[in-house]
């Protein structure tokens, strides 16, 4: 949240009880727009394309209308200016709520109402409700399998990359042998090794784990190596003066000082692992979000594909947010020393 938003929230929280509540104009605009989307959905008949009739239109319209009314009431009552964490997040999301209402309204109009976009390639918003209600078991199973595959590959690649980076950053002898491997294999996309991986590994699942681990290993290794190699030599000199041995220098000086670089590598590795995960599941693994996307495309179930893409985006965004939280927790002692 910006300083201006924080100031407004604090001012609203500290206002006297008898003072009129401030009007949240952005929230009111969002509430009116979402209410308009609900009215448009409920009052404008759908265009039936062939034998396809879009279900859950009434439910979607009522949900949009109810959300719009709730936002308008929150805007008029001044809830967004409270000091509650939820209220602050709601205030900050105001412009996005306005934009999403406009986009969803256009989406509804050009698909279900006017049928300007060809079906089944483009489905209206209410089709997502139908997918999540009718196919949630398969989607949940695909999500869990993807998370399990991602966890195995990412953890393996992150741990091996961290160990390799610390080793070559500390030892020039090891660096002599590992640097050529990094230069040779690092620039090669892991997805280019899919055919070889499926040939050498006993199962497609093991091959996918290896490729995800390889995609994670390279950025974690390079950034960890860079972090260890860039530690100020004065830190080592001071520690040696106080009687520190090599183990102390590695675990209590080099690694803590290199952690900001390590987390940059972890973020880069996580992003690369997402791409490899989807590609591997599309080509070899028999369950997962990538497999679900391939299956939906093969059966021309584009609404299922859009539903899986939204689940995938929310999941990956949540994992990145979780990694940010872990970084902030582990590196809290460096705040004020390292610029975030």
- pLDDT at position 194: 79
Note the pLDDT tens digit of each residue in 35-44: 999 999 999 9
- pLDDT at position 323: 93
- The mean of the pLDDT values for the chain is 85
Q: In three state form, how does the secondary structure of 156-205 look? A: HHHHHHHHHHHHHHHCHHHHHHHHHHHHHHCCCCHHHHHHHHHHHCCCHH
pLDDT tier at 182 (50, 70, 90 boundaries)? confident
Burial of residue 25, with CB atoms counted within 10 A of its CB: 0-12 exposed, 13-18 middle, 19 or more buried: exposed
pLDDT tier at 2 (50, 70, 90 boundaries)? very low
Distance (Å, whole) CA 60 – CA 173: 64
Note the pLDDT tens digit of each residue in 61-118: 999 999 999 999 999 988 888 888 888 889 899 999 999 999 999 999 999 999 898 8
Show me where the domains of the chain are located. Answer: 25-122, 132-331
Distance (Å, whole) CA 216 – CA 145: 19
How far is residue 320 from each of residues 144, 278, 316, 328, 333, measured CA to CA in Å? 17, 17, 6, 12, 21
Average pLDDT rounded to a whole number, residues 166-189: 84
pLDDT tier at 280 (50, 70, 90 boundaries)? confident
What's this model's pTM, rounded to 2 decimal places?
0.81
Check whether 51 has a pLDDT greater than 60: no
Select 132-331's CATH number: 1.10.10.10, 1.10.3720.10, 3.40.50.360, 3.40.800.10.
1.10.3720.10
Note the pLDDT tens digit of each residue in 242-273: 888 888 888 888 888 889 999 999 999 999 99
Note the pLDDT tens digit of each residue in 123-157: 899 999 989 998 999 999 999 999 999 999 999 99
What's the distance, Cα to Cα, between the start and end of the chain in Å? 16
Percent pLDDT > 90 in the chain is: 47
- pLDDT at position 14: 43
Average pLDDT rounded to a whole number, residues 180-184: 83
Coil, helix or strand for 17?
coil
Note the pLDDT tens digit of each residue in 202-238: 888 888 899 999 999 999 999 999 999 888 888 787 8
């Amino acid at each position: 949240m910006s300083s201006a938003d924080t100031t407004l929230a604090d001012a609203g929280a500290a206002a006297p009880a008898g003072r009129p509540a401030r009007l949240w104009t952005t929230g009111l605009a969002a509430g009116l727009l979402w209410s308009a989307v609900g009215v448009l959905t409920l009052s404008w008949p759908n265009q039936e394309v062939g034998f396809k009739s879009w279900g859950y239109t009434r439910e979607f319209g009522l949900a949009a209308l109810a959300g719009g009314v709730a936002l308008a009431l929150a805007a008029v009552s001044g809830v967004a200016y409270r000091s509650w964490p939820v209220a602050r997040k709601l205030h900050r999301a105001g412009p996005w709520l306005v934009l999403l209402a406009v986009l969803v309204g256009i989406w509804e109009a050009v698909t279900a109402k006017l049928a300007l976009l060809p079906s089944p390639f483009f489905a209206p918003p209410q089709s997502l409700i139908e997918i999540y209600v009718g196919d949630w078991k398969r989607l949940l199973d695909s999500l869990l399998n993807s998370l399990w595959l991602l966890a195995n590959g990412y953890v393996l690649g992150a741990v091996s990359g961290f160990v390799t980076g610390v080793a070559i950053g500390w030892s020039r002898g090891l660096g002599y042998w590992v640097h050529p491997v990094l230069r040779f294999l690092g620039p090669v996309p892991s997805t280019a090794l899919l055919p070889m991986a499926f040939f050498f590994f006993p199962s497609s699942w093991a091959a996918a784990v290896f490729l995800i681990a390889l995609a994670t290993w390279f950025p974690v290794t390079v950034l960890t190596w860079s972090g260890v190699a860039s530690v100020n030599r004065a830190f080592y000199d001071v520690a040696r003066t106080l009687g520190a041995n090599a183990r102390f220098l590695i675990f209590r000086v080099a690694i803590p000082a290199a952690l900001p670089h390590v987390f940059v590598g972890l973020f880069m590795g996580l992003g690369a692992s997402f791409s490899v995960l989807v590609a591997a599941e599309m080509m070899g693994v028999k369950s997962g979000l990538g497999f679900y996307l391939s299956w939906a495309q093969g059966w021309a179930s584009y609404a299922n594909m859009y539903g899986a893409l939204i689940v995938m985006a929310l999941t990956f965004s949540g994992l990145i947010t979780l990694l940010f939280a872990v970084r902030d927790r582990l590196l809290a002692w460096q705040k004020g020393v390292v610029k975030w």
